[in-house]
Amino acid sequence: MDSSNDPNTEEPAFLKIDKAYTPFLLKAVEAVKNTNWVEDYDLNRVHISMRKDRYQGRDCIVVRFYAADLTNVNWMEVTSADIGGAHVYMEASGRAVLHIAIEH
């Protein structure tokens, strides 16, 4: 069914972020904006992933920003400069930034 002609029908969301993770995403964006990574890569044109991890023995959430998407198809062709990752590790309990790793 085409809902574009029905003003009462809303398109389903293509992305939903649980409210528990929204503060991590917002804090990570602010943290990476304060690095030299943004001089080489446009933060408005990146892929973002989030996952639970551990950093120096502490439970954390890592938010990763990538200029290029690494897939099973392109993994042999892309370089670290193509991907250009910035990884923001944050304490899971208090959201303090623990570490920012930059790949160029």
Interval 65-99: pLDDT, tens: 988 877 888 778 877 677 778 999 999 998 899 99
Q: Is residue 69 part of a domain?
A: yes
Please give the tally of structural domains in the chain.
Answer: 1
Mean pLDDT, the chain, integer? 88
17 within some domain = no
Range of the structural domain that residue 31 is part of = 22-102
Q: What is the pTM of this model?
A: 0.81
Q: Residue 97: which of 43, 49, 55 has the closest Cα?
A: 55
- Whether residue 9 is contained in a domain is answered as no
Q: Is residue 81 part of a domain?
A: yes
